[in-house]
Amino acid sequence: MAINLLNDISSTGSITITKPATTTPLLYLYNTSNGGGAAIQFSDHASLSQPGNLTYRHTDAQSQGGGASFHFTAEPDTVLVVGSSTVNGRFVAKSAANNDEVDYGFYDDVNTGMYRISADYLGFSTGGTTRVDINNSGIRMGNANARVTTILDQNDLGSNSDTALATQQSIKAYVDAHPGSGGTVTSITEGPGITVTASATSPTVAVDYLGTDSIIKAAPTISAAVALSDFLLIASSNGNVYETTFSNLPFATNVAPTAPSSLVATIVGETIEIQFAASTTSNIGYYQVWSSDDGGDYGIIGQISPTDFSSTMTVVDTTFVTGGTMSYRVYAVKNGVYSSAATVSKSYTVSALSVTAMTVVNLNTAYYIQYEKPASRFIDHIEIYMDSQATQAALNRSNASIVYSGQNASYMKNVNTSSNFHQFWVEVVTT
């Protein structure tokens, strides 16, 4: 018969529940508060601190999209361990085959994780959309229907497959063997708007001409190496047909553009302005200005894009931190090809700098020196020198010793109870 206990019960020692062979539960745990859950609490402290809880909840709002759930909660970073160093453990889930509520997911993100699509078929979902799926035929990624079934290692890339990936080694080998240099255009092909009318060794090709920099609009169907001297027929939008050669096409010739001209370097304050005229070559991609500080290595200091192009352009150099001869190279760049360098140099001398508003306060056993540093980007640091002599007339800079080096605008010098005369010199050291 059942025993009803109206108050909390505490027991020391083990409790064993035995029941004749049956399919009914041995232990019933109920909570009369709907939505409150039914929990078992564990602790390995006499004070019952740092407990762990196993709680059953049946409300949808507490079940991460399900109809009921079990919650394991304990200390921060709780770990569920199945198995040990000597006992194997496994997780087995009865899949709902649903990418909106995955089988192995994340708290408050139930549509992101792994789920079973069907037998021997796994899916990986983010935001409720399957991004990767794997079955016995291979792996499929993204929204495309093509499934990767193998990885090819072919240096000539002779296979054309939408279900195979090429190795990096194969791609590099192919690219290295087809540099496209020396004035040869490769893979000019027949397709919509393109007609091959001669042999593959010396083809004549008709191209749907779109403009100066847009030559071909067609999907390739056959491939053949085409020399720059081969003839090309260009059909314009008004129906006119022009005969030319590949050597006259913008994409087939990588001739260096003309260099910028009229370079002038001018000292403006603590900067040098480099002014130059635009290249006479059309459709320049950008201009670059490089500098060398007094014989050092060259480094880029400015790049001008087409939106800032004008007949005369200026770049201000604020990068140099030393005096001497500053040398500059200016390039025009088109289709990745650099012009020859336009050059100019300018000698720059860093002016001598001094502090201002210097005051020295005698504090009997110490002197407090205060000053204002000049506003210059060439200041490296401040040095303070002191001379101490028995007579004031003997004080001299040549006898002084350095007492401070740094960036501060003030300094306290302790001289104890010396009866000597003291004089200080504050000097600016430039870069």
Which CB contacts under 8 angstroms, 24+ apart, belong to 128-133? 128/99, 128/100, 129/99, 130/99
Nearest to 399 by CA among 385, 381, 411: 385
Res 314: pLDDT: 96
Rounded Cα distance, 201 and 228, in Å: 12
Using DSSP bridges, classify how beta strands 226-227 and 342-348 pair: parallel, antiparallel or unpaired.
Answer: unpaired
Domain contains 195: yes
Residue 134 lies in a domain: yes
- Predicted local confidence at residue 346, as pLDDT: 95
Residue among 104, 108, 106, 107 nearest 124 (CA): 104
- Cα–Cα distance between 118 and 58 in angstroms, integer? 28
**What is the SS3 assignment for 296?**
coil
In this structure, how many other beta carbons lie within 10 angstroms of the beta carbon of residue 70?
10
Give domain status of residue 11, yes or no. Answer: no
- 318 lies in a domain? yes
Output the domain CATH number for residue 284.
2.60.40.10
| pLDDT for the residue numbered 53 | 92
**Which distant-in-sequence residues (6+ apart) come within 8 Å of 126 by Cβ?**
111, 112
User: Is the Cβ–Cβ distance between 364 and 349 less than 8 Å?
Assistant: no
**The domain boundary residue, chosen from 147, 170, 193:** 147
pLDDT value of residue 215? 37
| Domain span holding position 99 | 53-72+91-147
Q: Are residues 337 and 361 in the same domain?
A: no
Residue 214, both tokens: 């847009």
Task: Locate all alpha helices (DSSP H) within 95-202, ordered by sequence.
Answer: 168-177
My answer on whether 265 and 331 are in the same domain is yes
Strand partners, 71: 55
Position 224 in a domain: yes
The number of domains in the chain is 4
157: which 2 tokens?
């890339």
β-bridge pairing 129-135 and 121-126: antiparallel
366 and 340 within one domain = no
Within this chain, do residues 141 and 64 fall inside the same structural domain, yes or no?
Answer: yes
Any domain includes 18: no
360 shares its domain with 331: no
pLDDT of residue 426: 94
380, 331: one domain: no
- For residue 405, list its beta bridge partners: 383
- Structural tokens at position 334: 């088109």
Residue 229: predicted pLDDT: 59
Q: Which of 300, 332, 348 is the last residue of a domain?
A: 348
Helices then strands, counting H and E runs in the chain, come out as 1, 30
102 lies in the same domain as 58 = yes
Ordered per-residue pLDDT tens for the chain, 431 residues: 566 666 677 777 788 878 777 778 878 888 888 788 889 999 888 888 889 999 999 888 888 888 899 999 999 999 999 999 999 999 898 898 998 999 999 999 999 999 999 999 998 999 988 888 888 888 887 655 667 778 888 887 777 777 778 888 888 877 776 543 333 333 444 333 344 444 444 444 444 434 333 333 333 333 444 455 555 555 544 555 555 665 555 443 456 889 999 999 999 999 999 999 999 998 899 999 999 998 899 999 999 999 999 999 999 999 998 889 999 999 999 878 899 999 999 999 988 889 999 999 999 899 999 999 998 888 999 999 999 999 999 999 999 999 999 999 999 999 988 889 999 999 999 87
> Do 324 and 384 fall within a single domain?
no
Same domain, 313 and 392: no
**Partners of residue 286 on adjacent β-strands:** 333
C-alpha 246/C-alpha 18 separation (Å) is 94
Domain-embedded: residue 12: no
The CA distance from 139 to 151, in Å, is 11
CB 266 within 8 A of CB 302: no
Answer yes or no: is 82 within a domain.
no
Do 65 and 97 sit in the same domain of this protein? yes
User: Are 237 and 265 part of one and the same domain?
Assistant: no
Please compute, for residue 328, the number of CA atoms within 13 A of its CA located in the half-sphere on the CB side: 28
Length of the chain in terms of residues written: 431
Taking a C-beta distance cutoff of 8 angstroms, is the pair 321, 329 a contact? no
Asked which of 207, 225, 248 is the last residue of a domain, the reply is: 248
Question: What's 148's DSSP letter?
Answer: B
